[in-house]
Structure 1
Amino acid sequence: MPIAIKMPALSPTMEEGTLAKWLVKVGDKVSAGDIMAEIETDKATMEFEAVDEGTIAHIQVDEGSEGVKVGAIIATLAEEGEDPADVEPITEGDSAPAPSPAAKEEAQETAKEAPAPSPSPAPATAPAATPAPAASGERIIASPLARRIAEQKGVDLSAVKGSGPHGRIIKVDVENAEKAPAKAETAAPAASAAAPVAPVEAQDFGIPHEKEKLSGMRKTIARRLTESKQQVPHIYLTVDIRLDELLKLRSQLNAALEPQGVKLSVNDLLIKALAKSLVAVPQCNVQFAGDTLLKFNRADISVAVSIDNGLITPIIEDAGSKAISAISTEMKDLAGRAREGKLKPEEYQGGTASLSNMGMFGIKQFEAVINPPQAMIMAIGAGEKRPYVVDDALQIATVMSATGSFDHRAIDGADGAQLMKVFKEMVENPLGLVA
């Protein structure tokens, strides 16, 4: 009996993903454990392994397809002893992709288009009162050709009614939708009062440019940070911190750890300092949860790592109780695998607070956006030589500015100030970090 290969849930919160790349083709034999595809979630690109043996009979979702719901059938596997040519693609109601491969479907669409359809088809725009596919939690089912035409013509597929198998949107639907754009806007004013302000439409003004499609990660970053700034009342607190003692300790520790192949960064020491500060000021190691407040018993620090297509925050668990050398080794491993897109979901989902360091770029000071549902993030600026009062005398010292962003629903200003004070003391008197 043929086996349905379905879109996997690669993390506990994953609802849909992008089928980034097929590593098999129709006719290939696979065994359990073989890598069949690369799936892009909102945070990483992960490998999808086969769990059954057989021959790929049909590939029903093309690589590059976005918004593929978890559980949707993406391919059909013929079992041992079955002739793949005799196997029909498995479908599963409206959640399954259309049964024909893309090439066959495009040929059918071209044939459909030849008679030049008259005005008889119903307008493709959906009334405002009717939920669009995306709004109902279902992915938009459209052929690759229809998606390409929609992108070129600027047609919103969520407002198009599909006439293909299982309501799939095909070429003629997109072209008909483009002919009647006005109707889609007629019902909009009724709901506009309650709707959020729409973003300003991009205009190229005739300037030469290129269009780059947003990755799933970049879309998630845009959505989550917009929600954070709109829904989380931020309060920002900044302190200047003298780094000379920390730099001296780092140099001494690196000399001692050199035979072990460990080289500490300033960031490793700051991760430890933030974790110990959160343990010392537990009022800031919290999370706002509606009518309750979550109070954490350990500090798991999410560390911002810049990668090619966005930002990811691998987590150092219980950083306050770990040796700085262990933090350094773990951070190098996590950052390396983050840039390769090979982190496991549990390695970047969670954390009780975040740290973002832009000092290596020469940024003196900045205010980071809180990463919900966390309630604080520490922004680290560059260490630089500045005039500084030491023992009531003006001297030159290496100083950095650190800014804490706090969720004012969960953390009072006085508590945030206490955390910043403790953090400053720990960095300026760093022997406590190795105690």
Structure 2
Amino acid sequence: MPINLQMPALSPTMEEGTLAKWLVKEGDSISSGDLLAEIETDKATMEFEAIDEGVIAKIVVAEGTENVKVGDVIAIIAEEGEDASEAKAAPAPKAEKSAEAAPKKEEPAPTPAPKASPAPAAKAAAGANDDRLKISPLARRLAEQKGVDLTAVSGSGPGGRIVKADIDAAEGGTAPVKTETPAPAASPAPSSAPKKGAETGSDFDIPHTVEKLSGMRKTIARRLTEAKQTIPHYRVSIDINIDKLLALRGELNASLESRGVKLSVNDLLIKAQAVALMQQPDCNVSFTEDNLIRYERADIAVAVSIKGGLITPIVTSADSKSLSAIATEMKDLAERAKAGKLKMHEYQGGTASLSNMGMFGVTTFDAVINPPQAMILAISAGIKKPVVVEDNVQIATIMNATGSFDHRAIDGATGAAFMKAFKEIVESPMGMLA
């Protein structure tokens, strides 16, 4: 019997996706584990593997199709020994067959639609032909609300356009009155295209374009709105001298050059955050309705900016990995994140997050917690500043770090203790190598 290949749910939040590319064609034989298609989810572009064996009898959904619902049939597979040509005409699911087999009930004659009620007086006062007037969206709304006859108002805006001030003046009886009657003009044909200069609440239309939200952007918006509305954030900032960290990085990179490994400052900070979480385990937690989940390892989700959004690939067990392993893994994760090739387990989960905007010269910022995690570390740029060291003024490279914590799970003193531990690790970085 033909097998219906359905649109899979490739992430916990996925409800629909784009079938970006088919990697097979009709007539191809497939086995379990073969790659069938590339599917764009709300997080990334992922490859879809076959579970069943057989022949691709029919591709139902063409590549490039957007908004394919999870569970929709995207292809039909003929099983071994089955005629693929017959499978192309596979019967509909049982529920649909029974529906077709059932005798159709005679539908009652359609009831004539009721006549449209007359428009409110205020709208009528605005004039039957006001859609041909030059008028800003805000002015039109005000005219309808206040019952101003637009045919009697002269516009003071560019090209005789009626603006808010004209409506306000007309309401007070001081607006200039039109003396000429506009020549009749044919009403423009209705169009489904978006109007240029949609209502923005301003007196003048602003040139703009409308961009459809991607699934990723919708997910980012939903999750961050949920985080800000449901998680009581508090923030702790601290300044850190990173001169020793930079010196250590230089020495390590010189010794790792022959192995083709290059450490970034971010790689060292990932390690420092993971070690600090092990030292302050009360921050390596997640809050749920009835429980506090305590993690026994530090999986650091690292914010990576990609086209159209943001994704957080995870360095697992960062507390126990070497710096060279973290650097190699992070480079691979970042490259595949930007190419949309991450697998679901590589960006789902994590026990804490790190967001570094130092490369943009940002001196301080705070980040939004990524639920269900209970903390995120915001890293700013290292800036040369005068500092007092043992009563002497010296120039040092100072980096600001700000931790955002979920107050339901992590008390203020606990968050402060974590930031203190993080500072000590970064300022004495040789400990990370032990």
Q: Tell me the TM-score normalized by structure 1.
A: 0.71
CA contact (8 A) 1:55 1:84 kept: no
Distance in 1 between the 2:342 and 2:225 partners? 25
Find the counterpart in structure 2 of residue 84 from structure 1: 85
Structure 1 position 36, deviation (Å): 3.4
CA contact (8 A) 1:284 1:376 kept: yes
Structure 1: which amino acid aligns with 2:311? I
Structure 1 position 122, deviation (Å): 8.4
Distance in 1 between the 2:316 and 2:24 partners? 40
Structure 2: which amino acid aligns with 1:350? G
CA contact (8 A) 1:76 1:90 kept: no
Q: Deviations over 1:386-424 (max 9, x none)?
A: 121122222211101000000011111111001011111
Structure 2: which amino acid aligns with 1:66? N
**Residues 122 and 418 of structure 1: is their aligned pair in 2 closer, same or farther, counting only changes over 3 Å?**
farther
Structure 1 position 61, deviation (Å): 7.0
Task: Please give the root-mean-square deviation of Cα atoms over the aligned residues, in Å.
Answer: 3.0
Structure 1 position 431, deviation (Å): 1.0
CA contact (8 A) 1:57 1:85 kept: no
Distance in 2 between the 1:55 and 1:386 partners? 65
Distance in 1 between the 2:259 and 2:218 partners? 41
Find the counterpart in structure 2 of residue 10 from structure 1: 10
Distance in 1 between the 2:65 and 2:96 partners? 18
Distance in 2 between the 1:41 and 1:391 partners? 55
Find the counterpart in structure 1 of residue 156 from structure 2: none
CA contact (8 A) 2:299 2:350 kept: yes
Q: Deviations over 1:271-308 (max 9, x none)?
A: 11111111101111111111221111111111111111
Distance in 2 between the 1:418 and 1:387 partners? 26
Structure 2: which amino acid aligns with 1:37? A
Single out whichever of 207-216 and 413-422 deviates more from structure 2.
207-216
CA contact (8 A) 1:30 1:56 kept: no
Give the SS at the match of 1:325: helix
Distance in 1 between the 2:85 and 2:212 partners? 36
CA contact (8 A) 2:313 2:337 kept: yes
**Residues 250 and 296 of structure 1: is their aligned pair in 2 closer, same or farther, counting only changes over 3 Å?**
same
Distance in 2 between the 1:66 and 1:409 partners? 37
Distance in 2 between the 1:63 and 1:261 partners? 39
Structure 1 position 337, deviation (Å): 1.2
Give the SS at the match of 1:410: coil
CA contact (8 A) 1:21 1:38 kept: yes
Find the counterpart in structure 2 of residue 352 from structure 1: 351
Find the counterpart in structure 1 of residue 40 from structure 2: 40
Single out whichever of 370-379 and 384-393 deviates more from structure 2.
384-393
Q: Deviations over 1:354-412 (max 9, x none)?
A: 00000001111111000000000000000011121122222211101000000011111
CA contact (8 A) 1:25 1:56 kept: no
Distance in 2 between the 1:369 and 1:406 partners? 9
CA contact (8 A) 2:271 2:432 kept: yes
**Residues 67 and 373 of structure 1: is their aligned pair in 2 closer, same or farther, counting only changes over 3 Å?**
farther
Aligned residue runs from structure 1 range 1-400, under 5 A:
1-11=1-11, 13=12, 15-23=14-22, 27-32=26-31, 34-50=34-50, 51-60=52-61, 63-66=64-67, 68-69=69-70, 71-79=71-79, 82=83, 84=85, 87-92=88-93, 206-400=205-399
**Residues 27 and 428 of structure 1: is their aligned pair in 2 closer, same or farther, counting only changes over 3 Å?**
closer
Structure 2: which amino acid aligns with 1:46? M
Structure 1 vs Structure 2: percent identity of aligned residues?
Answer: 57
Find the counterpart in structure 2 of residue 128 from structure 1: none
Structure 1 position 86, deviation (Å): 7.4
Give the SS at the match of 2:17: strand
Q: Deviations over 1:139-160 (max 9, x none)?
A: xxxxxxxxxxxxxxxxxxxxxx
Q: Deviations over 1:146-178 (max 9, x none)?
A: xxxxxxxxxxxxxxxxxxxxxxxxxxxxxxxx9
Structure 1: which amino acid aligns with 2:57? I
CA contact (8 A) 1:23 1:35 kept: no
In the alignment, structure 1 residue 433 sits paired with structure 2 residue 432 = yes
Structure 1: which amino acid aligns with 2:355? S
Distance in 2 between the 1:233 and 1:203 partners? 33
Distance in 2 between the 1:95 and 1:322 partners? 55
**Residues 218 and 90 of structure 1: is their aligned pair in 2 closer, same or farther, counting only changes over 3 Å?**
farther
**Residues 34 and 61 of structure 1: is their aligned pair in 2 closer, same or farther, counting only changes over 3 Å?**
same
Distance in 2 between the 1:338 and 1:95 partners? 41
In the alignment, structure 1 residue 410 sits paired with structure 2 residue 409 = yes
Structure 1: which amino acid aligns with 2:265? V
Q: Tell me the TM-score normalized by structure 2.
A: 0.71
Q: Which has the larger radius of gyration?
A: 2
CA contact (8 A) 2:14 2:42 kept: no
Gapped regions of structure 1 (runs ≥ 5): 100-117, 124-177, 179-200
Distance in 1 between the 2:212 and 2:112 partners? 31
Q: Deviations over 1:197-230 (max 9, x none)?
A: xxxx867963222222222111111100000000
Structure 1: which amino acid aligns with 2:399? M
Distance in 2 between the 1:238 and 1:23 partners? 49
Aligned length: 338
Structure 1 position 75, deviation (Å): 2.4
Distance in 2 between the 1:433 and 1:203 partners? 55
Q: Deviations over 1:289-343 (max 9, x none)?
A: 1122111111111111111121111111111111111111111111111111111
**Residues 272 and 62 of structure 1: is their aligned pair in 2 closer, same or farther, counting only changes over 3 Å?**
closer
Gapped regions of structure 2 (runs ≥ 5): 101-108, 115-191, 193-198
